[in-house]
Amino acid sequence: MIWQKIIQIRQQRKKAALCTIVDARGSTPRKAGSKLLVVEDGQFYGTIGGGDLEFNVIEQAKSVIKSAKPVLLEYNLSKDLKMACGGHVKVFIEPILPSDQLILFGAGHVSRAIANLAQHLDFEIIVVDPRKDVIDSWNLVKNTKFVSDSFERAFEQLKFDRQTYICSLAFTHDLDLKIAALALKKEFAYLGVIASKNKARKISKALQEQYGFTQQQIEKIDMPMGIPIKVETPAEIAISVLAKIVDLRNKFKHNDKSINTQRTLQITEYQTNSNQKAD
């Protein structure tokens, strides 16, 4: 039951913590292997014995959910928790987090190249594009969820969190601007917008003048998106973009203090000699 519940929780993009008794000595309410699943909304499933032990572990699990860091706890039940049974237990609490999701707004050539490469990088991939004929042309791309709807409705339907990586690769400049503005109001780990230098300047100006974002927010724009290599083809652009995203993701996981964990809007500059477009 607990394993099925974990699958369900991850599909719903909720956070949880799995608490497992990994060692039990003496008189204890439950033995090694007993599990308790604590969900961020307060629900819990299974048991490690109830009483003060379980109450204390649930409180510790809430902290693990917030920190996303596992902990190993050791209890002398009589000394630490005043429980009559008096044994010793060790409880390992590990965070259960949503999978990293990569949302691609726009289904053009660059988007397809990014999705193809991202399949090997442990992302849940979602592609949003209102053009059903373009979505249908992706039939050879595996492990990808498609949303054939307007970008506005997609922002209402999809769930965004700190494991969400967003790339805007729409088929018009105005749509990229709108996607950037909608995304800035959501929670995310990464936001990228495909652009030339000139387009990047226009997006920055419009985000401030048309949408009311502050100069401080605009200063968080990082351009170009991706690692600074000279790129030309969609595949090369995909390598640059995903190298940057993977680097950022790993720094988040290791709590690297050198990165800014605030929202980051990234504007992509194609570093080529030609005039490139997302499509």
Q: What pLDDT is attached to residue 116?
A: 94
Cα–Cα distances in Å, from 25 out to 18, 21, 31? Answer: 21, 11, 8
> What is the C-alpha to C-alpha distance for residues 234 and 263, in angstroms, rounded to an integer?
26
pLDDT digits (tens, 9 = 90+) for 51-106: 899 999 999 999 999 999 999 999 988 888 877 777 899 999 999 999 999 999 99
Under DSSP, is residue 45 helix (H, G, I), strand (E, B) or coil? Answer: strand
Q: What pLDDT is attached to residue 223?
A: 67
pLDDT digits (tens, 9 = 90+) for 223-260: 678 888 898 999 999 999 999 999 999 998 776 544 44
Cis amide leading into 224 (omega within 30) = yes
> What is the C-alpha to C-alpha distance for residues 208 and 181, in angstroms, rounded to an integer?
10
* Residue carrying the six token digits 């990586």: 165
Helix, strand counts (H, E) of the chain:
10, 11
CATH number among 1.20.1250.20, 3.40.50.720, 1.10.287.610, 3.30.420.40, domain 101-269:
3.40.50.720
pLDDT at 24 over 80: yes
Type of residue found at 162: R
Q: What pLDDT is attached to residue 259?
A: 42
Q: Who has greater pLDDT, 217 or 12?
A: 12
Spatial CA neighbour of 46 closest among 20, 73, 66, 24: 20
Lowest mean pLDDT among 184-193, 202-211, 225-234: 225-234
Q: How are beta strands 88-96 and 124-128 bridged, if at all?
A: unpaired
pLDDT average, residue stretch 16-28 = 95
What's the mean pLDDT when you consider all of the chain?
87
> What is the C-alpha to C-alpha distance for residues 40 and 119, in angstroms, rounded to an integer?
29
Q: What pLDDT is attached to residue 219?
A: 66
DSSP 241: H
Q: What pLDDT is attached to residue 101?
A: 96
Q: What pLDDT is attached to residue 190?
A: 93
> What is the C-alpha to C-alpha distance for residues 150 and 226, in angstroms, rounded to an integer?
26
pLDDT average, residue stretch 157-168 = 94
Sign of torsion, CA 57 60 65 70? negative
pLDDT at 270 over 50: no
Type of residue found at 263: R
User: How many CB atoms within 10 Å of residue 276?
Assistant: 19
What is the reported pTM? 0.81
Spatial CA neighbour of 65 closest among 49, 41, 46: 41
Q: Who has greater pLDDT, 270 or 151?
A: 151
> What is the C-alpha to C-alpha distance for residues 140 and 133, in angstroms, rounded to an integer?
14
Contact predicate 73/93, CB 8 Å: yes
Domain edges within the chain: 2-96, 101-269
265's CB contacts (< 8 A; 6+ apart) are 180, 183, 184, 191, 192, 193, 217, 220, 221, 222
Tokens describing residue 235: 């595949």
